Amino acid sequence: MKTSDSVMLIAFCCLCIFIYTGCKKDLPPEKSVIITESDGNTTTSEDGATDNYTLKLATQPAANVTIYLAVDNQITVTPAQITFSDSTWDIPQTITVSAIDDEIPEGAHQGIITHSAKSMDADYDNIIVSPVVVNIEENEFSLIISGSRTGHFAVVDPVTGQDIAECAPAVNYVGETCLGYMGRKAVLISPVVPAGNPVIFTCDPFTGENPVQLLSDNEFYVLNIDGSPVEPRIVFSAKDPLESKHHVYTINEDGSSLTRLTQDEELIECPGRVLTKLMGADRPAWSPDGNRIAFVAFLSETETNYAHNAIVVMQATGENKEVVYDMPDVAEAHYDDICWSKDGEFILFGVSEDGIDKVKTLHVSTRKTTEIQQHMIVGSLGKESHWTDPLQQKILFNLHSPGGSDLYTIDYKTSGSSFTITSSPKKLTDGKAVGHSYQEADWQEWDGEMK
């Protein structure tokens, strides 16, 4: 072997050893993007609380690497893209995450951030980067209260349809129920003694505890109640035992400031009729801004004594009573379930006209009506009672069913004087699973506090 050949052989062997050991010792670390969530998770709130996480590269890239962030409709991120160079690849860059404060009550929900990588370094270009799941705390809540069976009421989460509580307050009988201001109290009608006049009680909505009687025994015979959307005040219809007719009153949830809003035989202007007087009032309902109250008026024409029922709207002070719906020539028109659309432009009501049950919407300023009862049928079952969502354009109703009724919702939209149902009925509750029947209900905004 020539010396030069020996040198070549040694050099070749060294090269092989060098390549082998080089491969063994310096296997390139995995090319990846390292995500670190502060405190191990990313949690934001529609109330404005933000959170953050950092990104960095696992290895030095051969060229700039840009990470683009994409979000769904629940969150925003800042910045929306970041770039790592061959000198900054291992310096963590921070992404700040905020929740979008929408007006949709969704309960606790999630958003997702996806990442895509672009680089002239083929090892980093289009590399797979993990998404970040963002927990979002809700800041809009509402509650449904529903009489479930004698002596009980259920408080239902409108997002999940699940019972939050089923309560049996220590009263003689749970009649009509509603929720007080921001869902802080349940309000119900019950007689003080078993056969006595029904009066108003408040209690804790989640336990039924601490029942407080608002009107003294036999002071009133209460028919209907509704909780104000803007203050701790209740509107109700009741008969003063010294009179024979029902009238509309308001009272604070603590029992103070009892105010009478309708007077016996007060004159009310009724379009197309001669002079009419008020002979009674019930089924009052607050408008969403708390400024107006709609109610059913029993009217009598002063000259002929011809009696008919109508729907009247007044200021929450009792002033400016105005007949908004009246069919004086329809014999025996009876109205129930008076409630307002979320925008306060429409009143919804049940009406029995000539023995036919209908649900109508009334555009208060133009008096245009739309019949919607045909949308509240599931199978062969028709709706029993209905109410409206304070936060969204939804109607809640229960179906009359021999096996026990459940709550359903349908969606609507409004445009000018037109009112349109935009969905088919969606079942909200599962009465069979929880063993009760959901009856007449009320839907109120809630502060989210479970005190």
**Which residues are at the interface with Ca ion (CB under 5 A)?**
38-39, 46, 51, 101-102, 104, 106, 139-140
Length of the chain as a residue count: 451
Residue closer to Ca ion, measured from CB, 160 or 218: 160
Distance CA(113)–CA(328), nearest Å, equals: 60
Distance CA(62)–CA(49), nearest Å, equals: 38
Distance CA(300)–CA(279), nearest Å, equals: 7
Minimum Å distance from CB 94 to Ca ion?
11
Query: How far is C-alpha 396 from the geometric centre of its chain's CA atoms?
Result: 11
Residues 281/295, Cβ–Cβ less than 8 Å: yes
Written as six digits, the tokens of 108 are: 């606790």
Residue closer to Ca ion, measured from CB, 29 or 40: 40
Virtual CA dihedral for 337, 341, 344, 347, nearest 10 degrees?
A: -40
Whether omega before 79 lies within 30 degrees of 0, making that bond cis, reads yes
Minimum Å distance from CB 37 to Ca ion?
5
Residue closer to Ca ion, measured from CB, 51 or 384: 51
Minimum Å distance from CB 74 to Ca ion?
8
Please give the backbone phi and psi of residue 433, each rounded to the nearest 5 degrees, phi first: -65, -35
Minimum Å distance from CB 106 to Ca ion?
5
Return the closest-CA partner of residue 388 out of 117, 80, 158: 158
E strands, 198-291, in order: 198-203, 212-213, 221-227, 233-239, 246-252, 259-260, 267-268, 276-286
Minimum Å distance from CB 133 to Ca ion?
11
Residues 268/312, Cβ–Cβ less than 8 Å: yes
Written as six digits, the tokens of 35 are: 């995500």
Residue closer to Ca ion, measured from CB, 106 or 243: 106
Minimum Å distance from CB 167 to Ca ion?
27
Minimum Å distance from CB 272 to Ca ion?
45
Residue closer to Ca ion, measured from CB, 62 or 104: 104
Residue closer to Ca ion, measured from CB, 51 or 157: 51
| Other Cβ atoms within 10 Å of 84 Cβ, number | 23
Distance CA(433)–CA(230), nearest Å, equals: 35
Minimum Å distance from CB 43 to Ca ion?
6
Please give the backbone phi and psi of residue 293, each rounded to the nearest 5 degrees, phi first: -135, 130
Residue closer to Ca ion, measured from CB, 139 or 420: 139
Three-state DSSP class for 375?
helix
Three-state DSSP class for 371?
strand
E strands, 152-266, in order: 153-156, 163-167, 177-179, 186-191, 198-203, 212-213, 221-227, 233-239, 246-252, 259-260
Distance CA(313)–CA(292), nearest Å, equals: 7
* CB-based closest residue to Ca ion: 38
Minimum Å distance from CB 141 to Ca ion?
10
Residue closer to Ca ion, measured from CB, 140 or 336: 140
Minimum Å distance from CB 182 to Ca ion?
15
Residues 303/247, Cβ–Cβ less than 8 Å: no
Residue closer to Ca ion, measured from CB, 60 or 110: 110
Residue closer to Ca ion, measured from CB, 131 or 416: 131
Distance CA(14)–CA(8), nearest Å, equals: 10
Minimum Å distance from CB 102 to Ca ion?
5
Residue closer to Ca ion, measured from CB, 139 or 259: 139
